[in-house]
Amino acid sequence: MKLARYTPSFDLGRVADFDQWLRHPFAGFPAVGQLLGDFLPGVAGRLAADVYEDQDNYYARFELPGVKKEDVKVEVHDRLLTVSTQRQTKDEGQEESYSLSRSISVPESVRADAIAAKMEDGILTVTLPKQEERKPKLIQVN
């Protein structure tokens, strides 16, 4: 399976899309958003994420290059998966800190008690198992 990053397209003929474009004009251009992140709230500080599913699970993959797994926090609360990281670095007497986070809605059909996360080569993969399908019960009339 080939993964392709979702980039929303805007149809400026629709009022909702035009409003969205006005709020986040550089959403389709992440490199520009990173350059201007200090001036445009909501563009910088978000983790890149891919979401996909197979027959048994949903998956959410987050790019976290150079981040240790000890610095990553994964939470599920009220059907919302939140991944965040905060890091402080010291370089020649200067301290820098940054924080990144991303929240994704979780379907109701996810078994919250079986969610797992794995960090490998700067990629965090969160596995969200689907619930067993509920089969209808046949009731006989006597």
CA angle 49, 2, 59 (to 5 degrees): 40
Reported CATH class of domain 45-129:
mainly beta
Tokens of 15: 């009022």
Position 111 confidence tier, pLDDT thresholds 50, 70, 90? confident
Would the pLDDT of 135 be above 50? no
Position 62 confidence tier, pLDDT thresholds 50, 70, 90? very high
Helices assigned H by DSSP within 13-126: 15-23, 30-35
Distance CA 23, CA 49 (A): 21
Position 59 confidence tier, pLDDT thresholds 50, 70, 90? very high
Start-to-end C-alpha separation, the chain:
51
Position 128 confidence tier, pLDDT thresholds 50, 70, 90? very high
Its pTM surpasses 0.95: no
What is the total residue count of the chain?
142
Residue showing tokens 């240790």: 68
